[in-house]
Amino acid sequence: MIRFATGDLSYLIKGSCPLRRTSMRLGKIMGRTDQVTKVYGIFIHPWQVDEVMARFPLVANFQIVVTRKDYRDEMTIYIELKEEGA
C-alpha cells in the first residue's frame, strides 16, 4: 500500500533502481508539513487545543510539547497566566 497526500515530505531518487528502471522514484515518507500531531494514536489539531484553552479566561499563552517516554507519547501543556487586573 502506498500513502501519499498533500503535506507529506519525501524526496526524489535519481538514477536507476535495482530493477534497472531509469525514471525518478519517490523516496520514503519522512514526515508532514502541517501542524497536526499524533499523540498516543490520536491526531491532535491546533484548532482543537485553541478551542479548549479559550474556555479559560485567565490563560494568556500556552505551549503544547509532545515527547516520547518509555515508548509512550506524553503531551505537556505549559500555561502562562494573565497578570492580575489585566
DSSP for residue 54: T
Identify the CA nearest to 61 among candidates 46, 49, 78, 75. Answer: 78
Dihedral over alpha carbons 42, 52, 5, 69 (to 10 degrees): -40
pTM: predicted TM-score of the whole model, two decimal places: 0.56
Residue pLDDT tens, the chain, 86 long: 455 556 777 888 887 778 877 788 878 877 777 778 888 888 888 889 999 999 999 999 999 888 888 988 888 999 999 987 65
